[in-house]
Structure 1
């Protein structure tokens, strides 16, 4: 299941939540296919400006940051380089569609592997 956690300033997020969830879900579906739509899990984390720091000081206008959790196996597929590049591109485009072109150069998308046997759902270890 693709998990996306988005950190963004609360003031930038307010009123855009539904659109952002929809655009991020659509972006993932363009790479994985329609079968994945019901599995995309998006968490929006709005931060007040004084709780986001860069370089030892509160950030002035940070671009959204996305942590994208996917199964570790995605990184060992023969087409992994292409899939990773496409996911980063479509997620960045979705963020830009919602927040505007001004954020593009600062959007961070970090793909994080969910390792089999190190994740649990409902109190049970997930083996694959």
Structure 2
């Protein structure tokens, strides 16, 4: 299941939550296909100003950081380069489309692969 956790300044989220969730979901669907829409999970974590540091100092206007959880097997597919590139560029464009161009240079998208058997849902491992 694609799982995106977005960390951004709280003030950047105000009244944009729905737009950002929708745009990020569309970015996932653009790469994986329509089947992924119902299982894409987006969590928005708003960080208050002054609680995000870069270089040992509070950051003035940090760009969003995204942890994108996917199955590790995606990195071993023959089309993995296209998948990774599509997810990174699509997620970045979704964020820029909602929050504006000022964030583009610093948007970070980290794809985190979960090996089979290392994730449970509802107290059980999913069927392989």
Gaps of 5+ in 1: none
Cα distance in 2 for residues equivalent to 1:126 and 1:35: 17
- Is the deviation greater in 38-47 or in 111-120? 111-120
CA contact (8 A) 1:118 1:126 kept: no
Q: Secondary structure at the match of 1:68?
A: strand
Which residue of structure 1 aligns with residue 116 of structure 2? 116
Q: What's the CA shift for 1:114?
A: 1.2
Which residue of structure 1 aligns with residue 95 of structure 2? 95
**Which runs of structure 2 are paired with 1:70-89 in the superposition (5 Å)?**
70-89=70-89
- TM-score scaled by structure 2? 0.96
Which residue of structure 2 aligns with residue 44 of structure 1? 44
Cα distance in 2 for residues equivalent to 1:56 and 1:119: 34
Q: Secondary structure at the match of 2:120?
A: strand
Q: What's the CA shift for 1:127?
A: 5.7
Partner deviation per Cα, 1:104-124 (whole Å, 9 max, x = no partner):
110000000011111111112
Give the 4+ runs in structure 1 shifted more than 4 A.
Answer: none
Q: What's the CA shift for 1:125?
A: 2.7
Cα distance in 1 for residues equivalent to 2:33 and 2:80: 16
CA contact (8 A) 1:117 1:127 kept: no
Gaps of 5+ in 2: none
- TM-score scaled by structure 1? 0.96
Q: Which has the higher strand share?
A: 1
CA RMSD in angstroms comes to 1.0
